[in-house]
A and B are shown apart, each in its own frame.
Chain A
């Protein structure tokens, strides 16, 4: 079965960078894209960006352009995101979420989610 397992919680100081990884299993890694979504305490879900694990295409939300780097390592079935110049407002649970396909070939975006990684930014 499809599983997305993320790295553990992080505590960072303002101005630092954080890297969160997402290891996929149960499907052909290069056939599906992966999104990163975050949820600050009591806030709505927020999309950060997306990577095509097959051809390496990347799209970032304009809000995070310049601060966010998403990478994919097919040899390890792992997608990672690195967010730099952290500020307190970046405190949130970060999720990876796969873009799936249904049996008819239609996209079912965000069909599987990782367990979430809490990133706390505090001085």
Chain B
């Protein structure tokens, strides 16, 4: 059983805005910060969002995130073909005492 649940796929056309959801529980997203990662084909994961909605330097402001209760959402505006990747959410789980990751959402542009 997945601790963090993401839709397996999402799609959009260039220029559109797409949102990817991440659903958890009171022991993880309900209590702790969400992180988002982008994994381009054949590459290592890259930190996209930390501490719910902060972007590391170099990450464009087309990427934004929000949380509500035990869920989180990543929004990508002005979609580009190079945004095609798998996106993962992650957070600390107080019950498992471990970092947990979502199953990943494959974005097709």
Which residues of chain A have a CB within 8 Å of any CB of chain B?
35, 37, 44-47, 59, 61-63, 95, 97, 102, 106-116
Smallest Cβ distance from B91 to chain A, in angstroms?
10
Secondary structure at chain B's binding surface: helix, strand, loop or mixed?
strand
Smallest Cβ distance from B86 to chain A, in angstroms?
10
CB < 8 Å neighbour of A106 from B51, B98, B101? B51
The 14 listed contacts between A and B (C-beta, < 8 Å) are: A44-B88, A44-B102, A44-B103, A45-B45, A62-B97, A95-B44, A108-B50, A110-B45, A110-B90, A111-B50, A112-B47, A113-B44, A113-B46, A115-B44
Query: A114 and B44: CB pair below 8 A?
Result: yes
CB < 8 Å neighbour of A62 from B50, B51, B96? B96
Query: A113 and B103: CB pair below 8 A?
Result: no
Contact size range, B? 20 to 34
Query: A110 and B101: CB pair below 8 A?
Result: no
Given that A61-B98, A102-B54, A108-B51 are contacting pairs, would A45 and B46 also be in contact in the complex, using a CB cutoff of 8 Å?
no
Interface string of B51-68 (1 = CB under 8 A from A): 100101000000000000
Instruction: Enumerate chain A residues within 8 angstroms of B37, measured Cβ to Cβ.
Output: 45, 110
Smallest Cβ distance from B32 to chain A, in angstroms?
11
Query: A45 and B44: CB pair below 8 A?
Result: no
Instruction: Enumerate chain B residues within 8 angstroms of A113, measured Cβ to Cβ.
Output: 44-46
